[in-house]
Amino acid sequence: MTQQAATAGTTTGVGGTSRPIRPLDGIRVIDVSSFIAGPFAAAQLAEFGAEVIKCELPKVGDPLRKFGSLLPADNGTAETLPWLSEQRNKKVVTLDLKKPEGAEILKKLIAQADVLVENFQVGTLEGWGLGWETLKAINPRLIMVRISGYGQTGPYAGRPGFGRIANAFGGLSYLAGYPDRPPVTPGSATIPDYLAGIYGAMGALLALKARDRTGEGQYVDIGLYEPVFRILDELAPAYQSRGFVRERMGPGTVNVVPHSHYPTKDGRWIAIACTNDKIFARLAEAMGEPELTSAARWGLLKNRERDRAEVDAYVGAWTARHDRADLLALCERGQVPCGPVYAIDEIFTDPQYEARDNIAFIDDARFAEPVAVANVVPRLSATPGGIDWLGQPLGTHNDEIYKRLLGLSDAELQLLEKAGVI
């Protein structure tokens, strides 16, 4: 159920099988990051053809292996659902970068790589003799994606960071919740990790494109909070220009109304978005109350903003008299932007998700049934990405990578394993 290309040609994929050509075929990525932000950046590159070599601490592995839920029929494997999903398409090897021998092995891998992804606390790689200047000297064409809590510079650079902290520091948590209650988690504490991963993958692609022109590599520097701050629409200019500090608005939205979540007769919720006067007029027609659009009432946005609480209550009273399916039909006929507020069980049965294969069901010999994961984004018409396999057990590809790329013998591998290097 992964995306397929019709006419792009084929190349050899996992296990010697053929698959459609992908945009990043021939690009090699070394992923020494952990948890979500860096690994997600690397996973997106892997989805589109890059050979991603995931390096983990011997016997311990990435902490993500122990983070999250297990499949009910787990067959005794230790991998969690986030691991299976976010380490897709990667070749996993063990390597202790803290040991001098491990650092030397990474340097040898870097000499044959295009991209390195890391999200250690600032200064960690430098402490192991693996900083940017060292790796650049080994491979001047290297692209290094560096994701950290606060970026590589600034007074907070040395601080540790996680998604929850980035949500708070980036300005998003302050906006989440109701004005008379404490800020809440804005959907998920991992939003910054995924956003940073997206920007990390984009940064790698931009740097690869620049390298095509200059022949030189560079590093990509992302603070975990920065993508959060970047997506907060007019927050910065509104404050700079008129001192406006946006407060929590519950499900409402600044500058427009009605633009919220409203209850339905069958105990569900519907999202309605009236972003201008014309759309509100359509909603009024759908409600059977066109008089609401008079200049004296709510036909103008300034009046709706003035009476925000009354407008939302009025619309909510209307939606509460109808089942959600009927409301969706009414709004669709009237060209009023609307949508169901879905829980995951409803997503699994929605025909739009099914038609676009937004959920991929991946076969894996470790599990009795296919594993459902979010499918690849974006969708390319000629050279789409795909999911070849889920996150693999610790050290699965040690032999392949260390023998094929570095030419190590069985005896050398045994010595390195005994020393705890791999």
* Catalytic (active-site) positions: 193
The total of other beta-carbon atoms located within 10 Å of residue 55's CB is 25
Q: How far is CA 55 from the centre of its chain?
A: 20
Pairwise CA distance, residues 363 & 332, whole Å = 37
In this structure, which amino acid lies at residue 3? Answer: Q
The vertex-239 CA angle with 234 and 244, nearest 5°, equals 100
SS3 label, residue 358: coil
Phi, psi of 108 (to 5 degrees): -70, -35
First to last CA, the chain: 35
* Contact (CB, 8 A) for 62 and 39: yes
The vertex-316 CA angle with 300 and 310, nearest 5°, equals 45
* Contact (CB, 8 A) for 168 and 245: no
Handedness of CA 57, 59, 63, 68 (dihedral sign): positive
What angle separates helix 277-287 from helix 324-333, to the nearest 10 degrees?
Answer: 130
